[in-house]
Amino acid sequence: MRVHTKETQSNLTPRMVLEILKEGNNRFIGNLKAQRDLLGQVNATRDGQWPVATILSCIDSRTSAELIFDQGLGDIFSVRIAGNIVNTDILGSMEFACKIAGSKLIVVLGHSKCGAVKGACDHVEMGNLTELLSKLQPAVYEEKETRELEQRHSGNPVFVENVASINVRRSVRSIIERSYIIEQMVESGEIGVLGAMYNIDTGKVDFYADVEYIKDERNPGFSVKELRH
């Protein structure tokens, strides 16, 4: 497969990029990886890059976005941090990816059985990890399905997955609310932002329709102002 060029990137819409990622994940779970000349892609991208998507995912060794979505060199920006949390540096990276480099879609990709989420569920404190896990605590407290206090820990898989899902949704909204640049690009339809969850047992990515902020013909009335109410 050929690498993206400025022309191919500019001709894509956020919705089209989402379909590219869905098709790539289908190839991944079907073990039908696209044929690529990676050395050729190295040469083709040496003078520039035109990634079509920006994926915020966890550092978990099983969650490489390039593999999960069957993408090649120069196809996506991969932003990785434990617990797929959002901070100022990550927001700045996303602003660069979209405003300067032309990326059309931001995906916050959580995953099942996340170690960082488990640590937050257990209120782990350890060195610099303490501050990182504190950014996951709001998702822990927001989980209301698990009412029994003795069940609100990492040993309860339902609790863990609920917190992981809430964390993805919070991160998606945080990106738009904390970045004026991204907010304006979403409002104009230049880019889209959405959340998704990767299942480490099956390899499948489920995209969250309730946190899909793409303004296009399918959703012409969407406004990011709705997020502030």
Q: At what angle do helices 88-95 and 180-188 cross, to 10 degrees?
A: 40
User: In the beta sheet, which residues pair with residue 110?
Assistant: 197
Q: What is the pLDDT of residue 1?
A: 66
Looking at the chain, which runs of residues are DSSP E strands?
53-57, 76-80, 105-111, 192-198, 205-213
Q: At what angle do helices 157-178 and 88-95 cross, to 10 degrees?
A: 60
Under-50 pLDDT residues of the chain: none
Contact 3, 45 (CB under 8 A): yes
State the pairing for strand pair 205-213/192-198: antiparallel
Q: What is the pLDDT of residue 228?
A: 57
Q: Which CATH superfamily is domain 6-228 in?
A: Carbonic anhydrase (3.40.1050.10)
Question: Residue 27 contacts by C-beta under 8 Å, 6 or more apart in sequence?
Answer: 33, 34, 70
Q: What is the pLDDT of residue 36?
A: 78
Domains of the chain by residue range? 6-228
Measured at the CA of 197, the angle between CA 20 and CA 30, to 5 degrees, comes to 50
169: how many CB neighbours lie within 10 A of its CB?
Answer: 17
Q: Between the CA of residue 51 and those of 66, 135, 172, what are the distances in Å?
A: 12, 28, 20
Looking at 58-124, which runs of residues are DSSP E strands?
76-80, 105-111
| Model confidence, pTM | 0.93
What whole-number distance in Å separates Cα of residue 52 and Cα of residue 118?
A: 32
